[in-house]
Amino acid sequence: MSANEPAVPGAPLLEVENLTVGFGPRGKVNQVVHGISFSLESGRCLAIVGESGSGKTVTARTLVGLTGERSQVGAGRLELNGKSLLGLSNRGWRAVRGAEIGFVLQDALVSLDPLRKVGKEIAEPLRIHGWGERSKREQKVIELLTEVGVPEPEVRARQLPHELSGGLRQRALIASAIALDPGLLVADEPTTALDVTVQAQILALLEKTKERGRGLILISHDLAVVSRLADEVAVMRLGEIVEQGPVDQILRTPQHPYTKALLDAVPAAHSKGTRLAPRVEGAYIPAGDPQLPTVVGNRQPIITAEDLVKSFRGPDGVSRTAVDHVSLEIRPGETLGIVGESGSGKTTTARIVLALADPDSGNVTLRGKPWTTLREKDRRQRRRRISVVYQDPLSSFDPRWTVRRIVDDAIADEDYKGKEQRTARVLELLGHVGIGEELLERRPLQLSGGQRQRVAIARALAPKPELIVCDEPVSALDVSIQAQVLDLLADLQAELGLAYLFISHDLGVIYHVSDRVMVMKDGKVVESGSADEVFHSPREVYTQQLLAALPRLERAEPAPKAVPA
């Protein structure tokens, strides 16, 4: 593939100078990328890191000419192997895409044609670029699937995307991107929706591509993922590169305050009791000492669950055990973290604790009194002792309601009477979560993701609960917003002595928030213990695998604290 060799030896594979991208009609262009420059050599990986709205995805799409009709792309230079990509026609881009630049999209399920067999999809770039005969192409597809580590490639090639797991779909996408062995691979959040063990496999696969001498541009919001693969890192914010340099330098001695804030926001690097985000001006500051409340004496547990079993009948009629003999206990003021990959039964466990699902056997007691065995009518007034914060706050709010009504609805009728008293209480609750009066009449859709989750927390506080069940409360949020929400939860715990049952697939988040941790797999508790025990000296093989798969900021020594005065 001579096309992939640099025209001039030693010259960069890709060179981008002063790239600007905007959208909209001429004269009213809304610019989202403001003059960024970078270059990449073969066999190296440049990671572009940023949060939503930073312009990183637009940048990736520009490199493959997929910004759409309404975009305005300008650059001093945009060259691949010394050949300019600027002003390329659609036809010209089609010749480049696939053959010289491979593109791996974020969500493999929506990026693959649902009605086309996986093998056909992978053969598509080969066909478009006129590669070989049909039978030869089919053979190549099998080779490619084998190369990306798909077991039983002949079978998989004949399946539809929805019949494959998330990890296999992502592999198929990568297979399609590297079908013609392009010299440059652009991967936009290639592992974001995947479980950590699968993520590790995909990262290893990308690493192999890099080792074969191909250039890799990796777009990610996750600094830990990046630290594993990247040689260079560019940190983007609001369409500009705020800092750029070798990965060690960026992770160890970041210069720009934004990079520092991003590194600080990574929960995995900080155990419980440390703050992730700098305090926001005017934000709620707890009156008490923000030290973590350790388990308070021998006080009676809020929740005791014994030997819970719950199974569901699948669409194929086969019964599957979602929760398999799980016992747990939550004491006042402590956080129990449940960590596990998708399908491990963690959410079902939480639903049973909340008495939103009844266990097949076993039972839960609330403050030593029956809970799951009660009739719904008798449970009702006691439900206020346990609140919930859901993963997707938007769908957990009535779309017609304003912030005021959402919070007001959760305040007990008997405790606060009259409009004035109730409004005061709503404002007090919103004050706890750092939401001002000006958002009172907004509807959920008019709030940002972080604001929504804050309102959800305010609603959870309204019934004055002893325990809040947090079901993946931060997994939909940007890392800096995630940091603020995690800090907020910690502050509230310190102030109000709340207990949390915290559920997440993210080991880093669980490590950061938990006093005690339960690792779940296939409905069973694999390991449990204090957060330190489980994370620093795991006994079980599965926990060790999970931890090994977790990309860490390995090269980053204790990140320098970046709390501005």
Partner 1 sequence: MSSAADVLTPVPFPGGGPAAPAGGRVFTRIRGIRPAVALAVIYLAVIAVAAIAPSLLTSQDPLQVNLADSLQSPSVEYPFGTDQSGRSVYTRVIYGARESVLIGIGATAVGLGLAALLGVAAGLGGKVVDGAVNRLLEVLFSFPGLLLALFLVAIFGSGVSTQIIAVGIASAPGYARMIRGQVLQVKGADYVIASKALGHPPSRTLFKNILPNAFRPLVVLATLGVGQSIVWASALSFLGLGVAPPAPEWGAMLDAGRDYIQTAWWLTVFPGAAIVAFTLAATCIGRYLQRRIEGETY
| CA nearest neighbour of 158 among 173, 145, 174, 177 | 145
What string marks each residue from 407 to 426 as x (binds partner 1 by CB under 8 A) or -?
--xx----------------
- Judged by CB under 8 A, the residue of 34, 208, 443, 552 near partner 1 is 443
The residue range among 302-310, 373-381, 499-507, 542-550 that interacts with partner 1, by the rule CB under 8 A, is 373-381
Cα separation of 277 and 520, whole Å? 29
Cα dihedral 19, 24, 25, 31 in deg (nearest 10): -40
Task: Please say which residue, 459 or 521, places its beta carbon nearer to partner 1.
Answer: 459
Q: Counting contacts by CB under 8 A, is residue 238 touching partner 1?
A: no
- Identity at 235, one-letter amino acid code: V
Residue 111 or 391: the one with the smaller Cβ distance to partner 1 is: 391
Choose one: 6-14, 64-72, 442-450, 479-487; the region binding partner 1 (CB under 8 A): 442-450
List 113, 143, 163, 441, residue binding partner 1 (CB under 8 A): 441
Nearest approach, Cβ of 357 to partner 1 (angstroms)?
Answer: 10
Question: Hey, which residues between 292 and 311 contact partner 1 (CB under 8 A)?
Answer: none
Q: Min. distance of Cβ 28 from partner 1 in angstroms?
A: 16
Q: Which is nearer to partner 1, 108 or 355 (by Cβ)?
A: 355
The token duo for 20 is 């600007």
As given in the structure block, the two tokens for residue 219 are: 């777009």
Nearer to partner 1, 99 or 498 (CB): 498
Cβ-in-10-Å burial (0-12, 13-18, 19+) of 343 comes to middle
How far is the CA of 389 from the CAs of 253, 490, 534, in angstroms? 36, 14, 25
Separation between Cα atoms, residue 263 and residue 252, nearest integer Å: 9
Footprint on residues 313-372 left by partner 1 (CB under 8 A): 354, 356
Of these, 398, 415, 554, 557, which contacts partner 1 (CB under 8 A)? Answer: 398
Output the smallest distance, CB 503 to partner 1, in A: 15
Residue 565: CB partners within 8 Å, gap ≥ 6? none
Q: Could you tell me the smallest distance in angstroms from the CB atom of residue 216 to partner 1?
A: 34
- The verdict on 384 binding partner 1 (CB under 8 A) reads yes
Rule CB under 8 A: say whether 283 interacts with partner 1.
no
Output the CA torsion 367→371→374→376 (10° steps): 110
The residue from 139, 381, 537, 544 that contacts partner 1 (CB under 8 A) is 381
> Concatenated DSSP letters for 63-82?
HTT-S-TTEEEE-SEEEETT
SS (H, E, C) 215-261: EEEEEECCHHHHHHHCCEEEEEECCEEEEEEEHHHHHHCCCCHHHHH
> Residues in the site for partner 1, rule: CB under 8 A?
354, 356, 379-384, 386-388, 390, 392, 395-400, 409-410, 438-443, 445-448, 451, 459, 463
